[in-house]
Structure 1
Amino acid sequence: MSLSDFYEDHPKYRTRLVLHVRDSMEDAVQASAAALDLIKNEKVSAIIGPTSSMQAEFMIRLAKKSQVPTITFSATSPLLTSINSQYFVRATLNDVSQVRAIAAIVKSFEWRRVIAIYVDNESGEGMMPYLIIALQDVQASVVYKSVISLEANDDQIEKELYKLMTMQTRVFVLHMPPNLGFRVIQKARDIKMMEEGYVWLLTDEMTNWIGSNERGSSLENIQGLLGVRSYIPQSKELEHFRLRGKKKFEKDHAKPNVFALWAYDSITALAMAVEKISIKTLEYDNGRVSSKDMTDMVTLGVSRHGPSLLKALSDVRFKGLAGEFKLINRELESSTFEIINYIGNKERIIGLVDSKSEKTTAFRQVTWPGNSTVVPKGWEISTNGKKLIVGVPVKRGFFDFVSVNTKKSITNGETTPTGYSIDVFEAALKKLPYSVIPKYVHFKSPKNYDDLVNQVHNGRWDAVAGDVTIRLNRSLYVDFTLPYTESGVFMLVPMKDKENKNTWVFLEPWGIDLWVTTGCFFVFIGFVVWLLEHRVNDDFRGPPHHQIGTSFWFSFSTLNFAHREKVVSNLARFVVVVWCFVVLVLTQSYTANLTSFLIKRLQATSTTVEDLIRNGDTVGYQRGSFVHELLKNQGFQESKLKAYDSSEECHMLMSNRTVSAAFDEVAYFKVVLSQFCSKYAMVEPSFKSAGFGFVFPKNSPLTSDVSKAILSLSEGNEMKNIEKNWLVRQSPCPDPSTDLSHNRLGLSSFWGLFLIAGLASFLALVLFLANFLYEQRHTLFEDSGIPFLRKLMFLLRIFNEKDRKSHMFKESAVHNRSSPPSTQCTPRPSVEIIPWPRSPSQSQIRESEPRRVSLDQSEDLFTPTTGTR
């Protein structure tokens, strides 16, 4: 069909291809014999074949020896590239091109573990190394490789599938020829491995064959499966070819697939290359034969124009039925794959993947095995009733984290542990969207926790729940969840009292700026109150020294609210109320900070690692902890390191001065401080650590799910409640991570209060002055001939007088009128006050009689120098 169409479209071409057909019988030996016959007897210019990767190796070596270009449209194994023959042309896709597409699917659905099922030959084995690398790039892995022979019977296939069924992983990548692949799928369906929760992903070796009439009935058996298939762009030529092919191959119960399209394009490319080199007859040179070389291999001729034909073939570019025909390093280049979902007797394209750029289109909804639309999580914990085997350490101390009663443990090691770590682990499991049933087994007295972690790496346990620190060397062979405790290695040191520095401790709570500002405001408030009360309140009158003392006394007595003087002016009351609130806040803050400072009067005996090493001090560490190696690396001698097992033993070593300091993770020291917080303090961490985490095998799907559950616990109150139940034994101690130095309160902490008090006082003064000046407006504005300074002095004298219109003095007057007659017998003196002299014009207009004012003889009053009698 390809030759007929090509020369019909190119009738003027001077060359014509003639086909010599040989049947390879799907056998490597027969294929090699056929190729040898074509080269030796037919003197062919090129070979189209082989049809499978198993037939290719010997044929490629024949092509290299005879320099006859050999073009394959269906041998896809990557191993063929390693033979390194420039006369081997792959006009089909290398299996390596699809591994990125498979990895993109695994990544899109967040699967982490995959089982590869492949045929036991070059075609199956060639792709596996590349698939493993591609999955590792998306944080997934091939956890098991199931190899099935082409000659395997149904019982052998079933036995292998039952083995896979007992494993946790539920994602299977099937890479094998269709005749074997459909047998595996049928057996998997028979033993219930095609139900909800399973994932089957077919490579293009099977997918490209599915849909032919020969295998049409098999679509019912692959319900819910996914497949990767080379993307073929639609065109009129392709549609026309399919219609013709359907009629032509109807008697063979098959229809053309992508391999037929590649075969069609291969012939077209060869015809174009032959015409390009413009040689009508491609002849052979005779092979050299010695007397000792009597085999057919050594008598092969060498194609005279093979190199020219190969170069012309490599330069061919055209748009074929399968898309753009373009050879890169003698291989067809294509990077786009279709993702197929098989539903019933139909196939549905759910997305496209560009394996080169790893771009993936948004997948449409998938129908999974069991007719489910829920994305399978890709694994199952409980298989045939199996529980999650969780190892826990048997500790000698710090039982708040993990406590195991070995006497109550049953013979197989299963136990019921308690502690902070166990509660966090079980709380995380409860938050998982599926059921996980742990079975705890204990590990007695590990020398160090590396031995504990190795039990997971060796496959003895499925997880470890305990106070296991996340370390780099451990993460190389196991996976850790996110930490569930604070991180960092701290130094714990004893405290000593600074009694010799407490003489002026009462000044420490406040900074100098706050002391000065507060003192200034006491003076200011006293002045404001005196100003507002002087004319209406007898308590704020009298000799100058008495008024000054009263004002200071009143202001400073507000510290303990002991002021006895009445405040009668509303403006003064407003100022005093605001000021009392400020004083209340200041005194309470001072008291609290002083108390805090007195509590923190302790200081650490040692504060740096260098001090301890330089002084040759002995330090403590928890037995079995990685801190031991850290201290040795820092320069501590082995003889200066003392191990402890519990918080009580740590306290004993430090209290009797056996060790000068202890090093451990912050979680352990929280327990120590909750018992002995007044005796020790933590200083900044000397080393970094990642905190405690739960251990799972490499690429375990539980790792990410439990990590998310830990985040959920941390963001809520559950983690705090668990910590409170186990790690806090008394009232909270001061934050151990804070500096031991005291933070004084400064003006910046209270400037808002002082601003309020200042604005209130200023507002009261403005209102008072405005009211006073309004009452004396005739003095300021009517007597324009009098100098301003003289008016000002007169206003000051008036301010110094009592305000007779005040209700305080009115009440006093009423009281005097009701007094007994004996108190009124003494005649009141009369004082004549003459108004200010006015200008002649004003005196003529506003001349008035002298005023007489009755004054109490006991009052002291400044009177004008003129007009007083």
Structure 2
Amino acid sequence: MGQPLKALSSAVELLENKKVDALIGPQTSEEAELLAELGDTVPIISFSASSPFLSQYKNPNFIRMTTNDNFQVEAIAALVQEFGWRELVMVHEDSSYGNGIIPNLLLALEEGNARVARRTVIPPQAGDIYVEAQLYKLMALSANIFIVHMSASLASRFFLKVNELGMMTTGYGWLVTDGIVNELTAMDQSVLDSMQGVVGLRPYIPPSELLRNFSLKWRHSFFTYQHHQIPQVNVYCLWAYDSVWALATAVHHLGPTTSVEKNDSANKLAHLTAIPTRPTGSDLVRKILHGKFTGLSGEIQLKNGQLQPPEAFEIVNVFGRVKRIGFWTQFDGITTGLNRSTAATQSPSVREMGSIRWPGSSLAIPKVQRIMPKSGKRLRIGVPIKVGFKELVGVEFDPVTNATMVTGFCIDVFKAATDMLPYEVKFDFIPFTDSDILMAASYYNDLIYRVYRQQYDAAVGDITIMANRSLYVDFTIPFTETGVGMIVPIETSRSTNMWIFIQPLTADLWLVVGAFFIFTGWVVWTIEHNDNDEFEGPLAQQIGIVMWYSFSTLFFAQREKLTSNLSKVVVIVWLFVVLILTSSYTANLSSMLTVHQLQSLPKGESIGFPVNSPAGQTFLINLPFKKHSFYPLKKVEDYANALRYESRKGGVSAIIDEIPYVNLFISKYSAEYTMVEPSYYSTKGFGFAFPKGDPLVPDISAAIAQMREEGKLNLISQNWFQNHSLLRNQDSATKVARLDLYSFRGLFLITAITSSVAAIVSCKYLKKESTNSQQHEVADKPVEEKFSPVSDIPSRRISSKHIRRYSY
């Protein structure tokens, strides 16, 4: 094992002397790759050579009775993503086996947003000193998350050194491939003790009666003939058994073959020409490839000269013993169990179960530490020093303790973003204290240049994202509003429109309100006029009552008393509608009578900029103003003073600055000033600056985006700016929206349904009463003639209204 030339020599001897028709057994990928060159002579079957570099396309008679290493890359990437690891180190063997998996594994990790920060390659025959030197280099990088892919023999020596150097303690995470896990049961106990906390993968072998019987025979044979510890059956034993079975089955179906006698020659290698050849598509190879049966390792079916991917990979954890903690399947991902149909059960993920024992017996998933060029290095974060607007960035020096306190909205956003990263980032805030340029217009540009020169590892603060700065550094996505705003005074004026009382409601709403006044009055009259004397009289009087009654609900209680409960319900609902309409009308009319208007800015007025504002540096050539002034605006109070004096008194009529500064100013002076957004200039907001290509940029950007979606960014801003939720477009303050029909459609629907139902019920009730009264008049007529004592007394006609009144 591990000796390709010796394996080749043995294979040649078998082909010469034994005249074999097939070879089973190259155990390493290097041996299989070398012996596969003989594949034009006989089939080469391997049950352990898993390198993706081996394929039937290169060697048509090579048959792989094991899984291809590429089958497990998706499972590895899924585990890395499950554990939240975004940066790691890959340690692999420098061989055909060790290098074969790397391209696909790197691609799978990249698709899962994981970055391989470093690859460490170890030769198969490397000594302990070489292995120890490589581990020291990894320790110097502060690396703590590793993927290991190497042969079991090299892994045994590697992990002994890992444990010896203290890299198998709390905080470290080790993930190994199936080539190591498959042989854990055959390793010495000292090696297993040094691997406590390791997580790995191995192909899932479904249980079967055939496998159980084989295991019993295995144990019985070793117990009988070997009086020492019985080795456990691993997957390579099963694949070896299935390889022999597949070959035997193919030979059985093929029948006996004949071979040519060996020729004598001094050169033994020349004898290979006398061996019967089996070209591509030979009978024996074809029979093996087309064979399909149930073996010890499960269903055996070859495609492209190799086994198909297993139905699942087991996720195992080395803790005392090799313990299975879950599964990975191609369709269901990571699960904690499989049912009989091999479909994933609905169960928590491995990460949520918390069943893994990591190095140091820790139950907490190791958190990635950002890989540094030097052990223990902390990021030097440059922050600008500001005299004012300390709500954004505030730097305070304590002369007693000589300590520096850095606070502000920008600082809290950066801290929250780094806390959300799946790895730990250590940093120190370093104030940018160059006194010569502290208040210069190039102050922020010089801070960016320090990051470019790597004097700082990053710059955090109210730093505007600009195109010229992006040539030197990489910015995260903005964490503030983008654009600039203009601060202008507001004036209060009264409207002089004589028809303004009509404007609170739209025309369609006026028409509908009038129609419902008439409709409601008609419904009340319909219900009341037969029983209520208040609603009787000539036609003109009754029309007047209809109009009067509904419209008078706007101002006072009606003198007409209602007798029917149905009409009372209609009026109560209508009074509620009237209350809402009148309240809304009053509020809207008040807003229209007194409105805030933006003060106009003639072209002759002056406009100001803060000294180091990026807006002022690029804005001047596009401004429609004749006079522009730079003012040393350091504080919010400086803004107010400059605006208070106005341009005629040496001040300014407006100030242009970025929206975060404007919002902070407006939150304190909202009664006197407002903001408009000019359309001729914009900025991209504040961002954090890092050196070009820094891997923190996409991670911090993703964290900022997540904070924005979850509302955390808004909570931080509210903590620093009490009135942060200002209207972005203050032009809306100068115009009051009219009330339309759409806003009150629900109210009108309620009163329409109520009135209609009441009218229908009243009509049906009157019709029924009318029928009953007619029947009573017919029944009483003979009795009136019989008991009339005096024929000359005028008869009194009793109306049906009075009959109903006396009958009930």
TM-score, normalisation: structure 1:
0.62
Shift of residue 409, structure 1, vs aligned partner: 11
Residue of structure 2 in register with 1:321 after alignment: 296
Paired position in structure 2 for 1:743: 737
Q: Does the CA-based 8 Å contact 1:68-1:306 persist in structure 2?
A: yes
CA contact (8 A) 1:117 1:147 kept: yes
Aligned counterpart, 2:259: 281
Tell whether the 8 Å contact from 1:393 to 1:402 is kept in structure 2 after alignment.
no
Give the equivalent residue in structure 2 for 1:116: 90
The 2-side partners of 1:186 and 1:703 are apart by 40
- Counterpart in 1 of 2:314? 339
Flag the 1:732–1:230 CA change in 2: closer, same or farther, 3 A. closer
Q: Which has the larger radius of gyration?
A: 1
Deviation larger for 100-109 or 546-555: 546-555
Q: Does the 8 Å CA contact 2:474/2:689 hold for their aligned counterparts?
A: no
Matched, 1:594 2:589: yes
Query: Which residue type is aligned with residue 744 of structure 1?
Result: R
Question: 2:115 aligned to 141, 157, 163, which one?
Answer: 141
Query: Contact 1:45 / 1:282 at 8 angstroms: preserved in 2?
Result: no
Q: Does 1:374 align with 2:363?
A: yes
Equivalent residue runs for 1:826-865 within 5 Å: none
Counterpart position of 2:192: 219
CA gap of 1:649–1:367, structure 2 versus 1, over 3 A, is same
Evaluate the alpha carbon distance shift between residue 244 and residue 518 of structure 1 in structure 2; reply closer, same or farther with a 3 A threshold: closer
2:201 is aligned, of 222, 228, 232, to 228
Out of 240-249 and 108-117, give the one that drifted further: 240-249
Is contact 1:681–1:736 with CA below 8 Å preserved after alignment? yes
Measured at CA, do residues 381 and 218 of structure 1 come closer, stay the same or move farther in structure 2, by a change above 3 Å? same
Does 2:237 correspond to 1:264?
Answer: no
Structure 1 stretch 70-79 or stretch 305-314: which is displaced more?
A: 305-314
**Change in CA separation of 1:194 and 1:230 when aligned onto 2, cut-off 3 Å:** same
For residues 311 and 661 of structure 1, the distance between their equivalents in structure 2, rounded to whole angstroms, comes to: 92
2:148 corresponds, among 152, 174, 182, to 174
Equivalent position amino acid for 1:315 in 2: K
Name the aligned partner's letter for residue 725 of structure 1. W
Query: How many Å separate the matches in 1 of 2:543 and 2:172?
Result: 94
| In 2, Cα distance between equivalents of 1:333 and 1:627 | 66
Tell me which amino acid in the other structure corresponds to 2:324. I
- Which whole-Å CA distance do the structure 2 matches of 1:72 and 1:550 have between them? 105
| Contact residue 340 and residue 347 of structure 1 kept, 8 A | no
Deviates more, 1:258-267 or 1:374-383: 374-383
Sort the Cα spacing of 1:56 and 1:724 in 2 relative to 1 into closer, same or farther, 3 A: closer
Deviation at 1:366, TM superposition (A): 2.8
List runs of 5+ in structure 1 lacking aligned partners: 1-23, 288-293, 607-617, 786-838, 852-869
Q: Which amino acid aligns with 1:85?
A: N
1:420 counterpart residue number:
409
Number of the residue aligned with 1:86: 60
Q: Equivalent of 2:504, from 496, 505, 509?
A: 509
- What letter matches 1:419 in structure 2? G
Q: Secondary structure at the match of 1:301?
A: helix
Match in the other structure for 1:350: 325
Pairing of 1:445-844 with structure 2 (within 5 A): 461=457, 502=497, 504-516=499-511, 585-597=580-592, 670-671=663-664, 674=667, 680-682=675-677, 697=695, 713-714=711-712, 719-720=714-715, 722-723=717-718, 725-726=720-721, 728=723, 732=726, 736=730, 742-750=736-744
SS at 1:93 equivalent: coil
User: Which moved further from structure 2: 449-458 or 123-132?
Assistant: 449-458
CA spacing shift, 1:602–1:710, aligned 2, 3 Å: closer
SS in 2 for 1:223: coil
Deviation at 1:376, TM superposition (A): 0.3
Task: Tell me the SS of whatever aligns to 1:193.
Answer: coil
Q: 1:47 to 1:679 in 2, by over 3 A?
A: same
Contact 2:92 2:99 in 1 (8 A): yes
| Contact kept? 2:369, 2:425, Cα under 8 Å | no
Alignment correspondent of 1:826: none
Kindly tell me: are residues 325 and 82 of structure 1, through their superposed partners in 2, closer, same or farther at Cα, counting changes over 3 Å? closer
> Aligned partners of 1:112, 1:432: CA distance in 2, in Å?
9
Matches of residues 98-117 of structure 1 in structure 2 within 5 Å?
98-117=72-91
Go from structure 1 to structure 2 and tell me whether the alpha carbon gap of 1:784 and 1:191 turns closer, same or farther (over 3 Å shift): same
1:198 and 1:376 in contact (8 A); partners too: no
Contact kept in structure 2, 1:230 and 1:338, CA below 8 Å? yes
3-state DSSP of counterpart to 2:158: helix
CA RMSD of aligned residues (A): 6.8
Q: Judging changes above 3 Å, is the alpha-carbon distance between structure 1 residues 145 and 98 closer, same or farther for their aligned structure 2 residues?
A: same
- Which secondary structure does the structure 2 equivalent of 1:307 belong to? coil
Please name the residue that 1:862 is paired with. none
Distance in 2 between the 1:458 and 1:251 partners? 67
User: Aligned-pair distance for 1:189?
Assistant: 2.7
Corresponding residue for residue 301 of structure 1: 273
Aligned residues: 724
Q: Decide whether the 8 Å contact of 1:222 with 1:342 is kept in 2.
A: no
Deviation at residue 142 of structure 1 after TM alignment: 2.5
Partners of 1:466 and 1:694 within 8 A in 2: no
Q: Secondary structure at the match of 2:101?
A: helix
Report the Cα offset of residue 52 of structure 1.
1.9
Over 3 Å counting, the alpha-carbon distance change for 1:258 and 1:547 in structure 2 is: closer
| CA apart distance, 1:232 | 3.0
Tell me which amino acid in the other structure corresponds to 2:302: L
Identity of aligned residues (%): 28
CA–CA distance in structure 2, aligned partners of residues 506 and 619 of structure 1: 41
CA distance in structure 1 between the aligned counterparts of 2:453 and 2:36, rounded to whole angstroms: 44
Q: Deviation digits for residues 408-453 of structure 1, max 9, x if unmatched?
A: 599xx99644433323444667799999765224679889999969
Query: Normalization by structure 2: what TM-score?
Result: 0.66
Q: Deviation string for 1:601-620 (max 9, x for gaps)?
A: 759999xxxxxxxxxxx999
> 1:71-113: CA deviations, max 9, x gaps?
3332222234499232433332222222222223333444333
Give me the whole-angstrom Cα distance separating, in 1, the residues matched to 2:269 and 2:492: 99
Q: 1:506 to 1:396 in 2, by over 3 A?
A: farther
Q: 2:24 aligns with which of 48, 57, 62?
A: 48
Per-residue CA shift, 1:817-846, capped at 9, x if unaligned?
Answer: xxxxxxxxxxxxxxxxxxxxxx99998559
Paired residue type of 1:223 = Q
Q: Retained in 2: the 8 A contact 1:201–1:226?
A: yes
The answer to whether the 8 Å contact 1:48/1:70 transfers is: yes
Find the aligned partners of 1:706 and 1:846 in 2 and give their Cα distance.
105
For residue 328 of structure 2, give the secondary structure of its aligned residue in structure 1: strand
| Structure 1 partner of 2:800 | none
The residue number in structure 2 matching 1:811 is: none
Change (3 A) 1:304 1:371: same
- Sort the Cα spacing of 1:783 and 1:584 in 2 relative to 1 into closer, same or farther, 3 A: same
Unaligned runs of 5+ in 2: 338-349, 433-437, 602-606, 797-808
- Picking from 209, 212, 215, the partner of 2:183 is 209
Structure 1 pair 274/149, CA: closer, same or farther in 2 (3 Å)? same
Residue 31 (structure 1) aligns with: 7
Distance 1:311 1:689 in 2: 70
Q: CA-to-partner distance for each residue in 1:682-737, whole Å, 9 max, x for gaps?
A: 599999989979988359877777766665554xxx935733633748x9558659
Q: Quick check: 338-347 or 505-514, which moved more?
A: 338-347
